[in-house]
Amino acid sequence: MSGNFRVNKRKVLVAMSGGVDSSVAAALLKEQGDDLIGVTMSLYCGTKALGSGCCSLNSARDAKLVADRLGFPHYSVNFKADFQSLIIDNFIDEYRQGRTPNPCIRCNQLIKFSLLLAKAKELGADYIATGHYARIPLPVTRYSLLKGKDQKKDQSYVLYRLTQEQLAKTLFPLGEMTKAEVRQKAKALNLAVADKPESQEICFVEDDDYGRFIRENAPELVRPGPIIDRTGKVVGEHQGIAFYTIGQRKGVGHHRGAPKYVVGLDRERNAVVIGDDADLLKTELTARELSFVAGKGPTGPMVITAKIRYNGSEAAATLMPDGKVVFEQPQRAVTPGQSVVFYQREEVLGGGLISS
């Protein structure tokens, strides 16, 4: 990623959402002299596809305009069938199991850095580039995935399931930049997307209303059941455990005394378990489906920092080879289905799905 000229032009497929980040990523590569192919993935249909979501028709149009401005070809590729079966169906199934999924992690693993990477090979591209805020320095003995320099924007959390092979083929041109610098760059280049609002939500869930999404796409999950306290006493009724997430306060009814939170989802009994704030605190969790982007996992107890949700903060912990994580300080609302990601300083070691 260093140097302003290159003897051999690299051929790079840039994943373009039409947003400011991927547009600037493309512009930076173009300035470095890379030979670019812009690609926008069409992933799902739905009313949101007409609006402002990141995979919408408008996005493809914005991306096309940027590619045209910068002078490289742009294509839309259709991954709708795979996105439905690998991402959306799984998203619904996770809720059915009483878990709270993060579909972006899975999408990065199975769509962007798999299907799109395969597309890159088909098109003769050596690398795939995205607008993620993360870094992959030149390898010494292996590739490493580092946090983005902009700590506030760092997106390494959603990339922990990548493999060494995928890192070898990946470029993150924004890794060394802050969001402010990216916006500035977009303005300097006069890119029309410079002031586009940030997209934080799950792209296929309209208005970030996942309750409505579940009702419309998986009506069988609307299954009323009891709200119980930690002793098993029924204290209310819920519309379906899929509408609840650990740590949630809304929708658990009014109770005397201290505020109540969702502290567990019991799929067997179709019950939402509520408790006090203190009941949300845990010093341990177990992760399954471990994946180590650094190459390999620990063989003995390993001192790490761990993050249990995208917007969470890292906490000191010990990682066991079997996926058990023991925190130094209790963590609030450990949520099954979310990912725990392991770090050592700047580097992402890997992570797994929280099972309990």
**Closest to other proteins by CB, 76 or 248:** 76
80 binds other proteins (CB under 8 A): yes
Q: How far is CA 71 from the centre of its chain?
A: 30
DSSP 332-349: E---BTBEEEEEETTEEE
| Catalytic-labelled residue, pool 54, 55, 104, 203 | 203
Residue 200 CB, shortest distance to other proteins, in Å, is: 25
Residue 220 CB, shortest distance to other proteins, in Å, is: 25
- For other proteins, the binding residue among 52, 76, 114, 178 (CB under 8 A) is 76
Q: Is 151 exposed, middle or buried (0-12, 13-18, 19+ CB in 10 A)?
A: exposed
Q: What is the CA radius of gyration of the chain?
A: 22
**Closest to other proteins by CB, 126 or 284:** 126
- For other proteins, the binding residue among 1, 57, 221, 315 (CB under 8 A) is 57
**Closest to other proteins by CB, 60 or 308:** 60
- Choose the stretch contacting other proteins; rule: CB under 8 A; options: 118-126, 131-139, 150-158, 245-253: 118-126
- For other proteins, the binding residue among 31, 50, 89, 124 (CB under 8 A) is 124
Contact 175, 169 (CB under 8 A): no
Q: Where are the beta strands (DSSP E) in the chain?
A: 11-15, 35-42, 74-78, 127-129, 134-135, 145-147, 170-171, 225-228, 234-238, 261-266, 271-275, 281-291, 302-307, 315-319, 324-332, 339-344, 347-354
**Does 54 participate in catalysis according to the annotation?**
no
Q: How far apart are CA 341 and CA 262, in angstroms?
A: 23
**Does 104 participate in catalysis according to the annotation?**
no
- Choose the stretch contacting other proteins; rule: CB under 8 A; options: 116-124, 187-195, 243-251, 310-318: 116-124
Catalytically active residues, by annotation: 107, 203
Q: Contact positions toward other proteins, by CB under 8 A? A: 37, 42, 57, 60, 73, 75-78, 80-81, 118-119, 121-124
